[in-house]
Amino acid sequence: MLLSDAVPVFAKGTTFIVPYTTPERQEEQVAKLKELASLHPGKSRLNLWIETESGAYVVVNAGPAFNVTPDFNLIGDVESLLGAHSVRLEAKDDIYNEYVPRHRKSW
C-alpha cells in the first residue's frame, strides 16, 4: 500500500486548526473549509479547532455531513489556506485488526 493510499484508510478523525487573525478572516476561512470538505467527502470525522483572540480554542465537531477523505490534496489545500501544520489526523484504534499476512515465497 502506498503512503498516499494509507492516510485516508487509517485516519479516523481529521482536525483543522484555524489560527486567530480577525473574526472576518476566520469566517472566510471556515466558509472555504466547508467548501473543501464538500469536495473531499469520506468517512473521517472532521473537527475544527478555532483559536480565539485570547489564545484559547473552541472545538467544533462538523458533523457527519462534513466527514472527509484526508488525502494529500485536501491536506495541501487546507495548509495553503491556514498555514503549515494546521491539519491533524487521528489514527484508527484497530489498524492491525484487518491485517492479512502475505504468502511467503520460496525461492
Q: What is the arithmetic mean of pLDDT over 47-57?
A: 95
Give the per-residue pLDDT at 82: 97
Q: What is the arithmetic mean of pLDDT over 61-84?
A: 94
CB atoms within 10 A of CB 32: 14
Q: How long a stretch of residues is the chain?
A: 107
Give the per-residue pLDDT at 90: 87
Instruction: Give the chain's radius of gyration (CA, Å).
Output: 17
Decide if 41 contacts 69 (C-beta within 8 A): yes
